[in-house]
Structure 1
């Protein structure tokens, strides 16, 4: 890493509150898993301990389906959004076009995201 970039990151990290500094560190570790060379031992890309836990974002009492998708993407930043796109779009269509209740769609989306996370974490253990 360039010395200037390292100094800039260190400066930013020092200025952030503890919670946000922790989030920055988790994001950096996530990027390292995705794009770094560390952790590619024995054919295993990541170790289960390296997969960050979901971010705790409480579900609002009243929430739209669109806001739920945004919340779930923020809750599970380690998931590849492209892999969830078709299923998420199908659920969104069921709500907007077919009139399926928002609460049902949101609950199914939560299961979808959690299942993808558990699969990712499970694959890392293998």
Structure 2
């Protein structure tokens, strides 16, 4: 990592509240496990990936679809948003354009994010 990137990352980390700084650290450790050169001092074998714990954010009683997507992205920061984009957009379109009930769309979004997480963690049942 070059000095400029390191300075930017350190600056961002210092400005974040403690909870979000912890999330950033967990995500950085996840990326290191997946893409970094983990040494034997870390006790990891090449290819072993530790999936960060979920950031449990309770679902509010009343929630819009847009807020649900934001909540789920914060709950599952380890997921690649690009892989979820098409399915998430389809569900939002069903709600906004086709008039599908928000609660139904939010339920499907919950399932979508959970299934992507399970697949990443290697717990999918497929």
- Taking structure 1 as the reference length, the TM-score comes to 0.74
**Residue in 2 that maps onto 1:105:** 105
Aligned pairs for 1:15-94 within 5 A:
19-38=19-38, 41=46, 44=47, 46-47=48-49, 50-94=50-94
Q: CA 1:16–1:79 in structure 2 vs 1: closer, same or farther (change >3 Å)?
A: closer
**Residue in 1 that maps onto 2:95:** 95
Shift of residue 22 of structure 1? 3.0
Structure 1 gaps of 5+ residues are none
- Mapped to 2, the partners of 1:75 and 1:37 lie a distance apart of 27
- Taking structure 2 as the reference length, the TM-score comes to 0.74
Aligned residue pairs, count: 115
- Mapped to 2, the partners of 1:113 and 1:20 lie a distance apart of 20
Q: CA 1:3–1:81 in structure 2 vs 1: closer, same or farther (change >3 Å)?
A: closer
The structure whose RCO (Cα within 8 Å, separation 6+) is larger is 1
Moved over 2 A (4+): 1-6, 15-25, 37-40
